[in-house]
Amino acid sequence: MSRHGSIKPVKLAETIAEHLESLILEGVLRPGEKLLPERELALKLDVSRPSLREGLEKLEARGLLVTGRSGIYIAQFLVPITDPLASLLQSNPNTSFDYLEFRSLIEGDAAALATQRATDLDRDTIQQIITRMKLAHGQDDPSEEADSDAELHLAIYEAAHNVVMLHMMGALSSMLRIDVFYKRGRLYSRQGVRDLLLEQHLAIAGAVLAGDVEVARHLAKEHVCFTFRTLHEIRDDDARREVSLRRIGRSELIDSKHSNFRFPA
């Protein structure tokens, strides 16, 4: 035996596990997505089923895959953090503004990095989302446009090619989709806001695609600030409406027949 020791060959199963793990890290395979059936996946990767099965078992042991009755899924590995966090945040409506304040710090830099680092494929993805967004803008129901909104921001995070940003902001985006931070329907239904949001999204995407770093940074940050201001307006309007409703319902609390109160002259 060599004085330097023997070199152990890397097992195929470990190579498979490392390959799939890198795809999860890069966001190619996303939490909650279902993998192909074992037979099809083995053919796609050009490996034997026993080696594939062993590689999948390694990833399951690492908490990156989950096997269920219906198949094998990418684990939602941030759920142990995001579920309790979502519960905490939903209990305090003011955290909506903390979330947007945080995003205002991240969004501009994400757009700037995307402008600098986007590949042709990243730019194609952004363009396709914008096309879908324009089509959805003509529909009465804004839900599809709101989904395209979330997809665009995720595509920009992907184009930034920073995996920490991608996973953390992706997790927050998932929380946004289920209205943890605020109800997107309220935002999109406010008069004039839907048109302005489309205009902003088109401008951000245009700057990223054109390679204009500082314009992309500025527009992305201003977009989040606009959302912040609009949600403040919605909250203030709601608060005033609640006061008006209480005034209308005041008769349920007083005995009007025996009240002598008058405002001073």
* Residue 265 located in a structural domain: no
Q: Are residues 20 and 119 in the same domain?
A: no
CB atoms within 10 A of CB 16: 23
Q: Which residue has the tokens 């919605």?
A: 234
* Same structural domain, 165 and 138: yes
- Tell me what pLDDT residue 176 has: 63
Phi and psi at 252, nearest 5°, equal -75, -10
Residues 90 and 173 in one domain: yes
Q: How far apart are CA 19 and CA 2, in angstroms?
A: 31
| pLDDT confidence of residue 151 | 92
Q: Is residue 255 part of a domain?
A: no
**Same domain, residue pair 138 and 227:** yes
* Residue 144 belongs to domain spanning: 79-242
pLDDT of residue 7: 41
Q: Are residues 68 and 84 in the same domain?
A: no
pLDDT at 205: 97
Identify the pLDDT of residue 258. 59
pLDDT value at residue 259: 56
51 plus 93 within the same structural domain: no
Q: Map tokens 């995307």 to a residue.
A: 114
pTM for the model: 0.73
Compute how many other C-beta atoms are within 10 angstroms of the C-beta atom of residue 41. Answer: 18
In a domain, 61, yes or no: yes
CATH number at residue 59: 1.10.10.10
Residue 151 and residue 192 in one domain: yes
Q: Are residues 123 and 16 in the same domain?
A: no
In a domain, 257, yes or no: no
Residue 1's pLDDT is 42
Q: Which distant-in-sequence residues (6+ apart) come within 8 Å of 189 by Cβ? A: 142
Asked whether residue 46 is assigned to any structural domain, the reply reads yes
Predicted local confidence at residue 26, as pLDDT: 86
- Which pLDDT belongs to residue 10? 56
Within-domain flag for 259: no
Structural domain includes residue 164: yes
Q: What is the CATH classification number for the domain harbouring 237? A: 1.20.120.530
Same domain for 126 and 213?
A: yes
Please state the φ and ψ torsions of residue 34, each to the nearest 5 degrees: -95, 130
Are 61 and 94 in a shared domain?
Answer: no
Question: Are residues 69 and 137 both part of a single domain?
Answer: no
Q: Is residue 262 part of a domain?
A: no
The pLDDT of residue 195 is 94
Number of structural domains in the chain? 2
Contacts of 117 (CB under 8 A, 6+ apart): 159, 160, 161
Q: 132 and 155, same structural domain? A: yes
Write out residues in the chain with pLDDT < 50, as ranges.
Answer: 1-2, 4-9
